Amino acid sequence: MRIGIYARVSTKDQSCELQVRDLRAYCTARRLDLVREYIDVGQSGAKDSRPELNKLMDDARKRQFDQSWCGALIGSPGPPNTCFRRWRNFGRWAYNIYSYQENIDTSSALGQALFTIVSAVAQLEVI
């Protein structure tokens, strides 16, 4: 399986290294083909447009990989619906998402249900 990973931190003085290290190790342990890493540094989670996330979404549409993994779906400042709206696009393209921190894998019915529940709870935090 071909994997694209995504990591993000909101300020330039932070590092994505721990997220990326964990995701690389996860790929290696499962003998998965890590195609590309997409890393946004200094990009708020509330932004609709982030350079590396935009590239990831474009590559997903082009079928450059089979599944996308990220360090965390939740925990970014700003409206959570921004993050979830972007990630839900993967479902329309028949891609699955794996979130390392929350241990959510949308390739199963349970993972899809958890993703929906977490998304709903995150929406409530904004209200």
- Which carries the bigger pLDDT value, residue 47 or residue 98? 98
**Cα separation, 80 vs 18, whole angstroms:** 22
Q: What is the mean pLDDT of residues 100-108?
A: 83
Q: Which residues, at least 6 apart from 10, have a Cβ–Cβ distance to it below 8 Å?
A: 42, 43, 44, 45, 76, 77
**Cα separation, 68 vs 105, whole angstroms:** 10
* Mean per-residue pLDDT over the chain, rounded: 80
Closest by CA to 8, choosing from 56, 65, 63, 62, is 56
Question: Structure pTM?
Answer: 0.78
Q: Spelled out in words, what is the top-level CATH class assigned to the domain 2-126?
A: alpha beta
DSSP H or E run through 35: strand 33-41
Q: Which residues, at least 6 apart from 51, have a Cβ–Cβ distance to it below 8 Å?
A: 40, 43
pLDDT surpasses 50 at 76: no
- Residue 52 confidence class, pLDDT cut points 50, 70, 90: very high
